[in-house]
Amino acid sequence: MCDKNKRRKKLKLSLFEMTLFAMFASMMFISKIVMEFLPNFHLLGMFTILLTIVYRKKALVPIYIYVLLNGVYAGFNMWWVPYTYIWTVLWAVTMLLPQNMGKTAKIIVYPLLCGLHGLCFGALYAPAQAVMFSLSFEQTIAWIIAGLPFDIAHAVGNFVAGLLIYPLSNLLEKLNIKASKI
């Protein structure tokens, strides 16, 4: 019983976190819309990794608020289905990173992970695409290959955005410390 109460307490959101998560979900959504003129360049991977590094399991809250906002804005259509898991994959891989990495490792690993997610975006999207459109394995592979130029552009954009993760995570940690003293 005691263990269950600890888990409940750990997953509870403070007013500060609720406000911050709403702000981050909104920033994720708005940044995607504002940057739509750039093909496959956005800040979503950067925000996903940043929030996961700082908030761990709680990062799923702003990630899924963003996914929901995206569906409300653009319609809950077939394109939206992969969004329900694509960001969770990035969250899960980030959760697997060691938390005690040195500064140099963080500066290198975070942008690389962000870029890798961009490169894998088409492959991550493909299973839903294959099921929804009854694609064979060969057709799915062809779909992934056809999208590689877009995935490469996505990887470059994500890598560049990923360079912001380390400094922003330090800033967010300091903000959390100040907020906890209030």
Residue 78 has pLDDT above 80, yes or no: yes
Residues 94 and 49 sit within 8 Å (Cβ to Cβ): yes
Looking at the structure of the chain, the number of domains it has is 1
Residue 33 has pLDDT above 80, yes or no: yes
**Residue 138 within a domain:** yes
Judge if pTM exceeds 0.85.
yes
User: Can you tell me whether residue 98 is helix, strand or coil?
Assistant: coil
pLDDT at position 177: 87
pLDDT at position 2: 57
- 20/59 Cα distance (integer angstroms): 11
Residue 1 has pLDDT above 80, yes or no: no
Lowest mean pLDDT among 22-26, 162-166, 175-179: 175-179
**Residue 4 within a domain:** no
Q: Look up residue 53 and give its two tokens.
A: 């590094």
**Residue 100 within a domain:** yes
Residue 10 has pLDDT above 70, yes or no: no
| Domain residue limits at 107 | 14-176
pLDDT digits (tens, 9 = 90+) for 39-76: 888 999 999 999 999 999 999 999 999 999 999 999 99
Residues 44 and 31 sit within 8 Å (Cβ to Cβ): yes
Task: Write the DSSP assignment of 6-66 as a string of letters.
Answer: HHHHHHPPPHHHHHHHHHHHHHHHHHHHHTTTSTT--SHHHHHHHHHHHHGGGGHHHHHHH
